[in-house]
Amino acid sequence: MNLLTKAVRGTQDILPADSYKWKFVQNIMLNEANLYGFKEIRTPVFEHTELFDRGVGDDTDIVQKEMYTFNDKGGRSLTLKPEGTVAAVRAVLEHGLLNDGVPLKLTYITPCYRYEKPQSGRYREFYQFGVETFGAASPEADVEIICLATTLFERLGILDLSLEINSIGCPKCRQEYRSALKKYFEKYRENLCSTCIVRLEKNPMRIVDCKNPDCQKIAADAPSIIDFLCKDCRLHFNDVKNYLNGAGITYKINPKIVRGLDYYTRTVFEFVSSLDSNRNLVCGGGGRYDGLIEEIGGPTTPAVGFGIGIERLILLMQSQGIEIPKPNRCDVFIATADKSAQAKALSLSKILREASFYAEFDIVEKSLKAQLKYANKINAKFLLVLGEKELAEKKAEIKNMDSGEKFVISLDNNFFIEVKNILTN
Ligand code: ATP
Ligand code: MG
């Protein structure tokens, strides 16, 4: 085959052999969010670039290296959204959703785009499930979404994920922490990676979660943010821990989870799989971002949320051997022995489909033998064979493909009632 082109590097086709897994996982996600009162929001795939690149010294990999930014024909700079939160915040503010009272709880499943080196669990187009609660500063709001994530993983049958939490305080506590970090890392300046040497001046907190092994070694003994929390942040963190204990949710405090951006505050959390040595997190972006809404031009509004990468989640489920239920089986395959039965097959399938039964018949002029093979391949529950004789007698045989049991049914007005009885027994 001489293909004109192939899928773009880092993108994936989700084929029928896998799409049912996606549907299953996505349904569980949206249903779970619904049980917690989150309502779905859908935002465009692209936004004005300044929504993401806000010129506030954001030196995250996403903004500096990974964005898909292009000019459209009108000369506007647009960016394919690299994550879901900021677009949701933009929509909330643009449509005044906060005026209807708080809390405002939103959920979404959205494609995201990042120019990264493609590898397993890391793509240039991937999907995120996210929830965001606006207008609630309370620790209960943090714990509520952590509960949501844990029940979601349980429902999906994933047992191996452990929850790690930390508090990164508020801008006030972080000022002191930053200078302590700077002082500490300064001593190891020569051994830091080149990126971290720049971070030393701009944002020493980001050195703490640098993936370079040398930096990680140095960071292991760096001061911990928890020791720098102000009274209010400490109380908030204590409440989060108490509520988690009360809800019977086990967690580990990991002082190394930080976020390099000012708008992130207080609670941060991640779900880590012991099977994943690369720490390619399924749910990495969890936590509070009380400063973001203001940064996008809205009123000071507390907010908390998380994002789960769906590809990584499905990969994890597969690596754990978790079976995702196969979609519905075909109820009836109507095979036709000759051309004269095609019209009847079409009308009987239509009757069954209108009553929400899954029915198929041959549409590519297969031989009867090939049709029977096809019925087996699609794992049809029942097989109905129509030919000249059946049409003349207005009776046909329907066979239960699992048990081999056969029934004679009429092809006239009683067809539906008789078939329905057999199918639903
Ligand atoms: P990482 O440290 O693995 O690069 P991140 O911090 O960039 O992750 P977030 O921005 O927090 O990730 O995104 C939330 C979730 O989205 C991640 O935990 C992960 O499940 C998923 N994710 C992020 N980048 C990708 C990608 N390139 N391909 C697939 N999933 C991704
Ligand atoms: Mg990343």
| Ligand 1 nearest atom to the CA of residue 280, by list position | 3
CA 61 to ligand 2 centroid distance, Å? 7
Give the ligand at the shortest distance from the Cα of 281.
Answer: 1
Hunting for tokens 């793509």 — which residue is that?
123
Residue 184, number of CB atoms within 10 A of its CB: 16
Taking residue 133's Cβ as centre, other Cβ atoms within 10 Å add up to: 26
Q: Are 24 and 51 in contact (CB under 8 A)?
A: no
Q: Which tokens in the block code for residue 179?
A: 């200078």
Tokens representing 262 are 């000012």
pLDDT tens-place values along the chain, 425 residues long = 899 999 999 999 999 999 999 999 999 999 999 999 999 999 999 999 999 998 776 777 888 799 999 999 999 999 999 999 999 999 999 999 999 999 999 999 999 999 999 999 999 999 999 999 999 999 999 999 999 999 999 999 998 899 999 999 999 999 999 999 999 999 999 999 999 999 998 889 989 988 899 999 999 999 999 999 999 999 999 999 999 999 999 999 999 999 878 899 999 999 998 876 666 678 778 999 999 999 999 999 999 999 999 999 999 999 999 999 988 899 999 999 999 999 999 999 999 999 999 999 999 999 999 999 999 999 999 999 999 999 999 999 999 999 999 999 999 999 999 999 999 98
- Separation of 88 CA from ligand 1 center, angstroms? 18
Q: Decide if 262 contacts 171 (C-beta within 8 A).
A: yes
Report the separation in Å between the CA atom of 214 and the middle of ligand 1, taken as the mean of its atom positions: 22
Cβ atoms of 143 and 247 closer than 8 Å:
yes
**DSSP string across 147-159:** HHHHHHHHHTT--
Distance 246 CA to ligand 2 centre (A): 33
Determine the topology of domain 16-170+230-319 in CATH.
BirA Bifunctional Protein; domain 2 (3.30.930)
Q: Strand 125-134's sheet: what is its strand order?
A: 39-40, 104-113, 125-134, 303-309, 283-288, 265-273, 161-167, 251-253
Ligand with an atom nearest the CA of residue 307:
1
Decide: 330 in ligand 1 pocket, CB within 6 A. Answer: no
Cβ of 271 below 6 Å from ligand 1: no
To which H or E segment does residue 235 belong?
A: helix 231-246
| CA 331/CA 57 separation, integer angstroms | 59
CA-nearest residue, atom 13 of ligand 1: 285
125 lines ligand 1 (CB under 6 A): no
Superfamily of domain 332-420: Anticodon-binding domain (3.40.50.800)
Q: CB-hemisphere CA count at 13 Å for 212?
A: 15
**Which of 123, 125, 312 has the most ligand 1 atoms within 8 A of CB, as the residue to mutate?**
312
Task: Output the six-digit token pair for 228.
Answer: 């720098």
What is the 63 CA–ligand 1 centroid distance (Å)?
Answer: 13
- The response to whether residue 83 sits with its C-beta less than 6 Å from ligand 1 reads yes
Ligand 1 center–CA 284 separation, angstroms: 6
273 CB near ligand 1 (under 6 Å):
no
Does the Cβ of 85 fall within 6 Å of ligand 1?
A: no
CA 62 to ligand 2 center in whole angstroms: 7
Query: Hey, whose CA ends up nearest to atom 23 of ligand 1?
Result: 309
Classify each residue of 402-416 as buried b or exposed e, where b means 16 or more C-beta atoms within 10 Å of its C-beta. eeeeebebebeeebe
CB 303 within 8 A of CB 134: yes
The ligand placed nearest to the CA atom of residue 278 is 1
**285 touches ligand 1 (CB under 6 Å):** yes
Q: How far is CA 152 from the centre of its chain?
A: 11
Which tokens in the block code for residue 43?
Answer: 């935002």
Residues in the chain: 425
Task: Give the residue, by CA position, lying nearest to ligand 1 atom 11.
Answer: 285
Decide whether any atom of ligand 1 lies within 6 Å of the 281 Cβ: yes
As a whole number of angstroms, the distance between CA 253 and CA 276 comes to 19
How do the domains of the chain map onto residue ranges?
16-170+230-319, 332-420
Question: Is the C-beta atom of 116 inside 6 A of ligand 1?
Answer: yes
